[in-house]
Amino acid sequence: MPVWNIIQAVNDALRVEMRRDPRVVVMGEDVGKFGGVFRATSGLQEEFGVERVFDTPLSEGGIIGTAIGMALYGLRPVPEIQFADFIFPAFDQIVNELAKFRYRSGGEYPCKVVIRTPYGGGIRGGHYHSQSPEAYFAHTPGLKVVIPSNPYDAKGLLIAAIRDEDPVLFLEPKRVYRAARGEVPEGDYTVPLGQAKVVREGQGVTVLCYGAMVHTVMEAVDKQGAAEYDPEVIDLRTLVPLDTEAVLGSVRKTGRVVIVYEAPKTCGYGAELAALIAEKALLHLEAPIARVAGLDTPFPYTLELEYLPSPERIARAIANTARF
């Protein structure tokens, strides 16, 4: 079984689906001959030709609008937005069109589009190449939001997303694009959307995280002494639909919760998790819910490491919650 990074896993997932289903097409800025800015689509145009893997103008609204039209005519486009920070010019197309077509047509016109985009900080990209916009889109009914943390999940979740009947925003944690490596089966397999994964079983504190933060949390556990509090680490994998049973089951077991995400703290996805736990598992809590998140500022360049949740901040939150 090959050992791949996330880029290789994403590339193979696209290749598997394009070989299986001629309706799958890949489009975006520099995704063709160049293979994308991170090389996630490298070699696809050579195999499948320019009609199925093609470059687009630098117009995110145009990319998504075109993908919507293609999907309505029966194709399964997988557009790439080069950085998640650039997705906002396409916000209207995604929120007001893509997410609503299946509902407004009574199911007659499902819009099967998977938008791939790298997100998050950690590469010294500054405030225009480091944002985490997942909460904006998790707020949008009709749109699924998926965030893998490792190569195995990246391939399986992407294949599942392409086969899904709903539009999917597939956010890829670029900080660990090449750093996260693992065994990935060749050929066809899926990881179901809406199922979280227990990365580490424990009894002391539930730690909820996703994307690159899974690795930062595990560093806090393995290197910063948080293991002594016996944390249970859960990788959500899919924000919408959320695996509420996995979240609530763990919270009812441990009675303590730390939520880790790198977007700004205020109104971030962690706030929704905290609300869910307060509504459904309040009487099981033995300590206040803690959030370790980015700061409520634009993403900085020189102070990037101070902005992002660090293993030290996470370990401190786990300790304070466990000792409350």
Task: Point out the residues that are catalytic.
Answer: 129
Count other C-beta atoms under 10 Å from residue 269's C-beta: 26
Number of alpha carbons in the 13 Å side-chain half-sphere of residue 68: 19
Token pair of 244 as six digits: 């509420």
The Cα 273–Cα 248 span in angstroms is 10
The Cα 223–Cα 29 span in angstroms is 40
The bridge status of strand 144-146 relative to strand 238-240 is: antiparallel
- Do residues 211 and 241 make contact, with C-beta atoms less than 8 angstroms apart? no
- Do residues 121 and 100 make contact, with C-beta atoms less than 8 angstroms apart? no
Token pair of 138 as six digits: 């998790």
CA-based Rg of the chain, rounded to a whole angstrom? 19
